[in-house]
A and B are shown apart, each in its own frame.
Chain A
Amino acid sequence: MRTERGRLRPLFFVLGLATGLAVVAARWTDAAAVRGASMAPTLLPGERLLVERWTFRRRSPRAGDVVLARDPRQPSRELIKRVASVVDGRVSLRGDGMATTDSRTFGTVPFSDIEWRVALRYWPVRRIGPIPAAPPLAYEPQGGEPACTAFGDLVVGE
């Protein structure tokens, strides 16, 4: 009997570890889908992201973080933008893309409206990985929302 239980001990250990990981993941992480192209080409419409709310328990958002924020004009909407700067405890948000509505339109947002940070992209498979820490300086526009192709000939940085 004792030897039987002894042999199963590694199995219990692995099961316990997996359960623990699942609990932590459920509590601190979530999966999000991107809608819209204001973060292109860093994030494209339909891409899927792992987001976490551990970081902003430990420190405030800072420039370069890609975050989820409540839209000050429509609180039911959750925006995804990059933190451009932090001034006096308020956060200025920017989209990486050419056509974006962000803090330049709706003003800065308080820390309390930002809980989640984007950790990495897990879909599509060929784009799995961390999110670049800064917006690209120059790029070919990626299409996105049809009306935004009105700016198709512009290239940032030229």
Chain B
Amino acid sequence: MLTLRSLLRPTRVVDAHCDIPCGIYDPAQARIEAESCYNIIKKYNDSDDEVFRTRCIQVKEERAELAKHHIDVLWSDYFKPEHLEKYPDLHQTFWQAAKQVSQVKHTMNLDDAKKLLDLIDQIDEMWRATGGPEKTRVQAAAV
């Protein structure tokens, strides 16, 4: 049945395209913060200075928040529907990574921080496969 709605439904999607959202974010940003969390947990477990340990908790909280921010931005601004077609578990991976950041906040368990690094590396793999490095990274000046 030919309805008004079917007449109005677009049959093609046209791109008012801009490279910017896919050319400025790098999973390395999240990884650096997650590495900090990992190392803070190590230092925390090696110390018996209460003041130091309290500071570790606080700094880990901050770094984890930054890791989460970078993960969120990659998820919503870099990755696009066509990437999802290629990587059907993209949403699942990001969701797990975001949840894993919370887990890193909750505990002083090195395994949790390691798991977060692994998830960020999975994101990094998808990012590389979609041409992220070519679009994003700037060559260092030759020395």
Tally chain B residues at the interface, Cβ within 8 Å.
19
Cα-based distance from A122 to B10 in the complex (angstroms): 11
B18, A37: Cβ atoms closer than 8 Å: yes
**Size bin of chain A's contact surface:** 35 or more
Q: Which residues of B contact A100 (CB under 8 A)?
A: 16-18
A78, B15: Cβ atoms closer than 8 Å: yes
Q: Which residues of B contact A77 (CB under 8 A)?
A: 15, 17
B77, A147: Cβ atoms closer than 8 Å: yes
B16, A80: Cβ atoms closer than 8 Å: yes
| Residue in B14, B17, B19, B20 whose beta carbon sits within 8 Å of that of A33 in the complex | B14
Q: Count contacts between A and B, CB distance < 8 Å.
A: 92
Cα-based distance from A43 to B17 in the complex (angstroms): 12
Q: Quick check: is B47 within 8 A (CB to CB) of the other chain?
A: no
Cα-based distance from A68 to B11 in the complex (angstroms): 14
Quick one: closest B residue to A48, CB to CB?
B10
Q: Which residues of B contact A78 (CB under 8 A)?
A: 12-15
B16, A36: Cβ atoms closer than 8 Å: yes
| Residue in A45, A105, A123, A146 whose beta carbon sits within 8 Å of that of B16 in the complex | A45
Q: Which residues of A contact B8 (CB under 8 A)?
A: 31, 48, 122-123
Interfacial residues, chain B to chain A (CB-CB below 8 A): 7-21, 24-25, 76-77
